[in-house]
Structure 1
Amino acid sequence: MAEEMQNELEAKTYNIGDVVEGKVAKVEDKRALIDFGSKIDGILPIGEISNVHIEKVSDALSEGDEVTVKIIKEDDEDVILSKRGVDNERALDDLEKKLESGDVFEVEVADVVKGGLVADVGMRAFIPASLVERHYVEDFSDYKGRTLRVKVVELDREKNKVILSQKAVLEAEADQEKQQRLESLEVGQVLEGTVQRLTSFGAFVDIGGVDGLVHISELSWTRVEEPSEVVKEGDQVKVKVLKVDTDAEKVSLSLKATEESPFEKAAKEIKVNDVVKGTVRRLVSFGAFVEIQPGVEGLVHISEIANRHIGTPGEVLEEGQEVEAKVLDVKPEEQRISLSIRQLLEDEENANVEEYKQDDQGMGITLGDMIGDQLKKLKK
């Protein structure tokens, strides 16, 4: 019998390893019979039909379907065929090209297995769990039957191994969107954003696919020790673009720049020659900084601290001391207010002198009158 079958194969010039075209003649539970031009129908076992698991042959084939198969074995009575082997070779050729070109293509998830997903791309391809999404996925049970856009990231012909990644596609698209977003940003823009995370040096804010940094010095006009004093993760905030570096993909933002500065507010309320109260915050060699409103400090130059010569501000003032001063100049654009304690003291002295003069005139008594009265008494 084997000899007759071999003669028939030789008559048709079929050999082990030949790839032939055939038609499904019959579908059984675990195999299909294939008419490929020989007097004997070839047997296509269920395990040689697909690269992914199927429960029965009818899940993949129907009578009359045309198939391309490879002759892989012969025994005493049968010729064994493989559709999977042909699909594998064709798929490997195609996938190698896709790997080289970086092409993105669609696959349907055939099965969910331990560690990831399986897709039939003409051969069995594996998508590891870590390469499915950009975020962590705990349960993949609802991924079966989904269509994913993937790239080939690894291929080994010898091991018949193909690794696909949807994550690589999503990250490439996200990078492209990020670059486009960066290029659309302009210094001075005011945007809405969401606080993503806090660090010791500031807060990162998502402004539409791009995370920008609000440095701790740009969170508030007042001194901030920790970013959490001003914002928390998830907060919706308004920020101003200070700097954009598209090459380094860095964006500098400011929260305080969207608000009226304390100096701008102070300029509306404080005028030259006003007398203000404040607290000495810092002593420096050239003077003292006095906080006259939250976030607003004025400088009392050393020459304006006292109505006498002093060597250092510390001779007269100390940090934390409450003082009054006269406003000499207000420049909000330079965030500078000049103050004088000396002029206020002089104004008070002058006012006292004027008050004394007025009192003196009101009594109608002069120094001459007082001396004349004394002389008259002496003569008597």
Structure 2
Amino acid sequence: MDVVSGLQALPAGVMLSGTVASIEPIGVFAALGEGPAHPAFPGVGFIPIPDLSWTRFEEASDIVRVGQRVTCEFLQFDTWNGEARLSLRATLPDPFRAFADGTAVGQALEGRVTKLVPFGALVEAARGIEGLVHVRDLAPEPVRAPEEVVQVGDSLTVVVTEIDREWRRLALAVPDAR
């Protein structure tokens, strides 16, 4: 049985190790120890950007570097591209799940504003866990834009209003705004 047939026959969930061969805007290519040369990139393992980490990051190089050895979970074999689809984040504990297990709706938290969007502000409520404070929940009086009351880097006391485990979403509000 050739290597490609072997990869095609693998069940999802198997752990595969390889070496990061290339970092591209769409993801990371890894040369698998037992893999053939990829027709376009040096490797047969591909880790899409969302499967690199549970937490938000700017560049794939913030997570991995060329030449680094990685162990990933095999998701499926992509017959169109001739590569194994892999997930690095599947090998790591989900920080949102741990956060949700230890946090309750109504609980007050100290956070830092990490990003402003037209409809609110993202606040890091715990390390690597961001939640949205909708613009209507930023201040007691109505505001049109989040920058009217907060800036990136501001420290903010927030209250948890919803924890959505399925979609990994956290809704927050400034206490006096509700």
The TM-score bracket by the shorter chain reads: 0.7 to 0.9
CA distance in 2, matches of 1:212, 1:276: 40
- Residue 94 of structure 2 aligns with which residue? 261
1:224 Cα deviation (Å)? 4.8
User: Identity over the aligned pairs, expressed in percent?
Assistant: 29
Aligned to 1:230: 64
1:299 aligns with 2:132: yes
Deviation at 1:205? 4.0
Structure 1 residues 253 and 207: alpha-carbon distance in aligned structure 2, compared to 1, 3 A threshold: farther
Q: Does 1:239 align with 2:72?
A: yes
Rounded Cα–Cα distance in structure 1 between residues aligned with 2:103 and 2:94: 14
| Residue 283 (structure 1) shift | 1.3
2:62 and 2:116 map into 1 onto residues whose CA distance is 29
SS in 2 for 1:333: coil
TM-score (structure 2 length as normaliser): 0.81
Distance 1:292 1:203, change over 3 A: farther
| 8 Å contact kept, 2:52–2:63 | no
Q: Deviations over 1:340-375 (max 9, x none)?
A: 10xx1269xxxxxxxxxxxxxxxxxxxxxxxxxxxx
Deviation at 1:203?
3.7
Query: Secondary structure at the residue paired with 2:97?
Result: helix
| Residue type at the aligned position of 1:178 | V
SS in 1 for 2:139: coil
Distance 1:230 1:308, change over 3 A: same
Contact conserved, 1:190 with 1:238, CA < 8 A, in 2?
no
Report the secondary structure of 1:292's partner residue: strand
Structure with bigger helix share is 1
C-alpha spacing 1:326/1:228, structure 2 compared with 1 (3 Å): closer
Counterpart of 1:252? Answer: 85
Q: What letter corresponds to residue 248 of structure 1 in structure 2? A: N
* Distance verdict in 2 for CA 1:329–1:207, change over 3 Å: farther
Larger relative contact order (CA 8 Å, sep ≥ 6): 2
1:1-380, aligned counterparts within 5 Å? 177-186=2-11, 188-201=12-25, 202-206=28-32, 208-209=34-35, 211-222=44-55, 223-227=57-61, 229-231=63-65, 233=67, 235=69, 237-341=70-174, 344-345=175-176
Q: What does residue 75 of structure 1 align with?
A: none
Query: 1:330–1:205: structure 2 CA closer, same or farther, 3 Å change rule?
Result: farther
2:130 and 2:78 map into 1 onto residues whose CA distance is: 33
Partner AA of 2:130 in structure 1: E
Shift of the alpha carbon at 1:305?
A: 0.7
> Following TM superposition, by how much is the alpha carbon of 1:239 offset from its aligned partner in structure 2, in angstroms?
1.1
How far off its partner does 1:196 sit? 4.7
Deviation at 1:297, TM superposition (A): 0.7
Paired residues of 2:19 and 2:66 also in contact (CA < 8 A): yes
Aligned length: 168
Q: Is the 1:219–1:254 Cα contact (8 Å) retained in structure 2?
A: yes
Q: 2: distance between equivalents of 1:254 and 1:203?
A: 11
Note if contact 2:72-2:88 (Cα within 8 Å) is conserved in structure 1: yes
Give the partner amino acid of 1:204.
Answer: A
Alpha-carbon shift at residue 285 of structure 1 (Å): 1.7
CA distance 1:281–1:346, change in 2 (3 Å): closer
Cα distance in 1, alignment partners of residues 146 and 108 from structure 2: 20
Asked whether the equivalents of residues 16 and 74 of structure 2 are also in contact (C-alpha less than 8 Å), the reply is: no
CA distance in 2, matches of 1:301, 1:234: 40
- The gaps in structure 2 that reach 5 residues or longer are 37-43
CA 1:329–1:316 in 2, change beyond 3 Å: closer, same or farther?
A: same
| Contact 1:193–1:208 under 8 Å retained in 2 | no
Equivalent-residue separation in structure 2 for 1:231 and 1:276 (angstroms) = 34
Gaps of 5+ in 1: 1-175, 348-380
Provide the TM-score with structure 1 as the length reference.
0.41
Q: How far apart in 2 are the matches of 1:204 and 1:287?
A: 38
* Contact 1:204–1:213, Cα closer than 8 Å, also in 2: yes
Bigger Cα Rg: 1
Q: CA contact under 8 A between 1:182 and 1:246: conserved in structure 2? A: no
Give the distance between the partners of 1:320 and 1:328, measured in 2 at CA. 22
Q: CA RMSD in A?
A: 2.3
